[in-house]
């Protein structure tokens, strides 16, 4: 595993692909899977492809003190909308109670700070779902960015000639889907190899047929 290696340029050669970082270090790979999250579209373009742009969707959360834990026995989730599954109130494995996340489309790819508006929105929703929660102390607030795109679905694609697979736009549900995505990436990488083998076999049998028929014609 090569850590602390931010891919800055990509060079697709005949047999391998060379990835370079800004310090001039390089990694040579036969196959490449793009799982660059918020930079997935930038990486996709480095390989010469387009089709989606990342538009971060910020999600903010509030963590309440463990003393609030007896207030609820299970997760309370409102009816989802087309945009988001909604703000839920849930117990955490550490014994706290969380409220969140919000869903706000933003431009900045590094804006992981909490906002006054986001926290107010969460408190309003928490008051509606579990009013007594607001009497408890807030232990922490945090925010994360989902790698949303202009499309509603993940952007998965295989590019056999470049020996490259893109797992783009992995936003909400990405954690839950991660094992299935890994399996799909493997299938997509194998497919071109299988296809090439098949193509080679078809070409070989076609060539044999031509040779045999011309031998028959000549005979």
Binding site for ligand FAD (CB under 6 A): 6-7, 35-39, 43, 59, 101, 144-146, 170-176
Site of tokens 């490449």: 32
Rank residues 142 and 158 by Cβ distance to ligand FAD and give the closer one. 142
Radius of gyration of the chain (CA): 25
Rank residues 67 and 85 by Cβ distance to ligand FAD and give the closer one. 85
CB of 39 to ligand FAD, least distance (A): 3
CB of 132 to ligand FAD, least distance (A): 24
CB of 201 to ligand FAD, least distance (A): 36
Rank residues 103 and 133 by Cβ distance to ligand FAD and give the closer one. 103
Residue with the CB atom nearest ligand FAD in the bound state = 174
d(CA 40, CA 147): 8
Rank residues 176 and 218 by Cβ distance to ligand FAD and give the closer one. 176
CB of 127 to ligand FAD, least distance (A): 21
CB of 145 to ligand FAD, least distance (A): 6
DSSP class of residue 54 equals B
| Sequence-separated (6 or more) residues with CB below 8 Å from residue 177 | 154, 170
Q: What is the DSSP string of 109-148?
A: TT--S--HHHHHHHHHHHHHH-GGGGGSPEEEEEEEEE--
Rank residues 100 and 192 by Cβ distance to ligand FAD and give the closer one. 100
How far, CA to CA in Å, does 128 sit from each of 124, 131, 196?
A: 7, 6, 58
């Amino acid at each position: 595993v090569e850590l602390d290696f931010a891919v800055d340029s990509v060079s697709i050669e005949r047999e391998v692909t060379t990835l370079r970082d800004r310090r001039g270090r390089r990694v040579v790979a036969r196959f490449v899977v793009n799982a660059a999250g918020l930079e997935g579209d930038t990486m996709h373009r480095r390989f010469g492809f387009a089709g989606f742009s990342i538009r971060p969707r910020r999600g903010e959360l509030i963590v309440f003190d463990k003393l609030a834990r007896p207030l609820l026995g299970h997760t309370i989730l409102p009816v989802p909308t087309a945009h988001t599954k909604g703000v839920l109130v849930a117990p955490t494995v550490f014994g706290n109670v969380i409220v969140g996340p919000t869903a706000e489309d933003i431009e900045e790819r590094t804006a992981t700070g909490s906002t006054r508006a986001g926290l107010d929105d969460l408190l309003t929703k928490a008051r509606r779902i579990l009013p007594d929660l607001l009497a408890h102390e807030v232990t922490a607030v945090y925010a994360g960015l989902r790698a949303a795109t202009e499309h509603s679905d993940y952007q998965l694609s295989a590019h056999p000639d470049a020996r490259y697979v893109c797992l783009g736009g992995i936003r909400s549900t990405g954690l839950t889907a991660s094992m299935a995505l890994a399996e799909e990436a493997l299938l997509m990488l194998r497919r071109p190899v299988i296809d090439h083998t098949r193509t080679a076999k078809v070409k070989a049998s076609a060539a044999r047929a031509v040779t045999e028929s011309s031998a028959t014609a000549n005979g």
